[in-house]
């Protein structure tokens, strides 16, 4: 049996970090994806060039082996996903897992959730368990909590359901969003775990002040929902800049991110801010003209134009015992899952 599944990366428009403390966030799925292909094999083998995981082999019941230098941070999401899945459904079948991704890793674009969600879906399916989307999302959330020490669940929700959503504490509502977006990648990775720890440290030191900042971000996010509904880019830009000021005071900006934000605003962006955990990674800007991309370059970053509101988790194809279920049949299966 051969299964191919994929999930999108994401951009948080408003509310990162505050969402971990119970405030709402607005997040959209982007047109960059991670693809996971699972095939029959004796052991569990993971192969990926894009994710810096060169070759991992897990023999049933034994310690895992690596045959080359492995990016352990990345690999920990994979091992934890396998562990969490086995806790849920019991021992999984041996599988050769190939991972391909066009999402820059550790960059605030949700690359870990976009990996964990299709990985869980395809490994479960390969072992004869067709989990519901909500079950997959929750298992993925558990993986993120375990690896990062905390997670709001926003990343695995968008990686599973796609679209643009208003998310708060495990529940979400789809919103229509036609806001144009440019992402600026600093070229430097960021650690979600480290950024979360820094915010937690500040919270412990000055709880009243930091709680006030989180509430402020929550208010900005609620106002942004109205601006998105009205497609009012001017208000939205202003709210984005306010959100950025508060993210800065949480200590999750960096010289590279500040520079891209400043230069894109000087080039005429309506608003710009960090997206994701920060301390590296990416910024987003609302462009009103092409010069914004030039601004991001001048600020030292790489502009990535993206489409937003993209599709969530999909089982792209299933091949079974020589009989090929092509995209059309896969589509039927997907629809069944959606309605279920």
Q: Catalytic amino acids?
A: 155
Nearest to ligand PMV of 139, 277 (CB atom): 277
Q: Where do we find the tokens 């310690």? A: 63
Q: Where do we find the tokens 């969600």? A: 117
In the stretch 203-242, what mask flags binding to ligand PMV with x, by CB under 6 A?
A: ----------------------------------------
Q: Is 19 a residue that touches ligand PMV (CB under 6 A)?
A: yes
Asked whether the beta carbons of 282 and 111 are under 8 A apart, the reply is: no
Candidate ranges 81-89, 124-132, 152-160, 215-223; the one touching ligand PMV (CB under 6 A): 152-160
**Residue 326 CB burial class (10 angstroms; 0-12, 13-18, ≥19):** exposed
Q: How many residues bind ligand PMV (CB under 6 A)?
A: 14
Q: Using CA atoms, how far apart are residues 1 and 131, in angstroms rounded to an integer?
A: 17
Nearest to ligand PMV of 175, 294 (CB atom): 175
Q: Is 7 a residue that touches ligand PMV (CB under 6 A)?
A: no
Q: Which of residues 174-203 bind ligand PMV (CB under 6 A)?
A: 192
CA atoms within 13 A on the CB side of 186: 27
Q: Which of residues 254-283 bind ligand PMV (CB under 6 A)?
A: 276-277
> Which one of residues 8, 24, 110, 271 is an interface residue with ligand PMV (CB under 6 A)?
110
With a CB cutoff of 8 Å and minimum separation 6, the contacts of 332 are none
With a CB cutoff of 8 Å and minimum separation 6, the contacts of 30 are 8, 9, 10, 11, 109, 183, 306, 307, 308, 310
Q: Is 253 a residue that touches ligand PMV (CB under 6 A)?
A: no
Residues that bind ligand PMV (CB under 6 A): 16-17, 19-20, 108-110, 151-152, 154-155, 192, 276-277
């Amino acid at each position: 049996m051969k299964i191919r599944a994929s999930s999108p990366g994401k951009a948080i428009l408003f509310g990162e970090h505050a969402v971990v403390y119970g405030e709402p966030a607005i997040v959209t799925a982007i047109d960059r994806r991670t693809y996971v292909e699972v095939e029959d094999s004796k052991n569990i083998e993971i192969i990926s060039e894009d994710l810096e995981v060169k070759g991992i082999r897990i023999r049933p019941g034994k310690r895992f082996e690596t045959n080359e230098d492995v990016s352990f941070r990345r690999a920990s999401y994979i091992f934890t996903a396998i562990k969490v899945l086995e806790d849920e459904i019991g021992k999984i079948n041996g599988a050769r897992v190939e991972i391909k991704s066009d999402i820059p890793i550790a960059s605030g674009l949700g690359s870990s959730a976009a990996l964990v969600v299709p990985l869980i879906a395809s490994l479960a399916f390969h072992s004869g368990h067709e989990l519901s989307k909500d079950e997959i999302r929750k298992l993925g959330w558990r993986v993120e909590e375990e690896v990062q020490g905390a997670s709001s669940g926003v990343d695995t929700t968008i990686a599973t359901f796609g679209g643009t959503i208003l998310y708060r504490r495990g529940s979400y509502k789809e919103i229509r969003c036609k806001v144009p977006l440019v992402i600026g990648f600093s070229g430097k990775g960021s650690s979600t775990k480290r950024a979360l720890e820094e915010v937690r440290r500040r919270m412990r030191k000055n709880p009243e002040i930091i709680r006030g900042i989180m509430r402020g971000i929550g208010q900005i996010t609620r106002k942004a929902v109205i601006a998105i509904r009205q497609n009012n880019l001017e208000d939205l830009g202003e709210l984005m800049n306010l959100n950025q000021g508060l993210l800065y005071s949480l200590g999750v900006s960096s010289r590279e991110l500040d520079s891209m934000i400043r230069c894109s605003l000087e080039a005429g962006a309506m608003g710009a801010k960090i997206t994701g955990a920060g301390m590296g990674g990416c910024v987003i800007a609302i462009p009103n003209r092409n010069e914004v991309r030039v601004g991001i370059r001048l600020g030292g970053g790489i502009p990535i134009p993206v489409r937003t509101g993209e599709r969530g988790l999909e089982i792209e194809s299933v091949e079974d015992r020589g009989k090929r279920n092509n995209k059309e049949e896969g589509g039927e299966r997907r629809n069944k899952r959606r309605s279920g």
